[in-house]
Amino acid sequence: MKLNTTVLCGLAIAGFAGPSFADERAFGDGVLPEALQIYDLDGDGKLSAEEAQAMKEARRNRHEEHQSRWDTDGDGLLSEEERAAARATLRAQIEEKRAERFAEVDTDGDGSISPGEFAEIPALARLLAVHPERVDALFGHLDKNDDGFITADEFLARLGGRHDVPPPPRDGGGDTPPPPGEGGVAQPR
């Protein structure tokens, strides 16, 4: 027992006597992520204290630049109106990108995604080979009116997390939204 305790204490002391933890920091597999490599000025694959500080300053400057873009009155703070305008602009940019993605998947250009087109999405094609039932469930989740196709409205509403947007009518006609509590409409608590 004394021998085991002595060996463990010796190993612990040897571990602490080596290089400090801060000097040996590594990411995952020991390779500096690509996004951080621009800050590795000496090219040693690690961020020194100076390089890390430069990275923090660059990120802070980038944050300030972004904030100043939305700070329309120049007071250095974002009012609720400025925040709302920023959110609206960013939301519009995101929805535009999503519409572009929808158009890429809608290969026949008919304004809807068929199960075949859906299965051709590269990430889903890999999943289809292993778990076809998951791809079917995902398609069903997006196809809110169960017509066998995903419309642009269904696609954008579900991917945007906008579960408060009622799905199109199941019978294909009318503009009447479903009754409260049905069709994915968020209800107040």
Indicate the burial class of 113 (C-beta count within 10 angstroms; 0-12, 13-18, 19 or more): buried
pLDDT value at position 103? 92
pLDDT value at position 148? 93
pLDDT value at position 119? 87
Question: What residues of the chain score a pLDDT lower than 70?
Answer: 1-28, 159-189
Helix-strand-coil split of the chain, %, nearest 5: 55, 0, 40
pLDDT value at position 64? 84
Q: What percent of the chain has pLDDT over 70?
A: 68
- pTM attached to this predicted model: 0.48
Residues linked to residue 112 through DSSP beta bridges, in sequence order:
151
pLDDT value at position 172? 45
pLDDT value at position 179? 43
pLDDT value at position 169? 46
Indicate the burial class of 128 (C-beta count within 10 angstroms; 0-12, 13-18, 19 or more): middle
pLDDT value at position 27? 56
Asked if residue 82 lies in contact with residue 70, where contact means CB atoms within 8 angstroms, the answer is: yes
Asked if residue 141 lies in contact with residue 161, where contact means CB atoms within 8 angstroms, the answer is: no
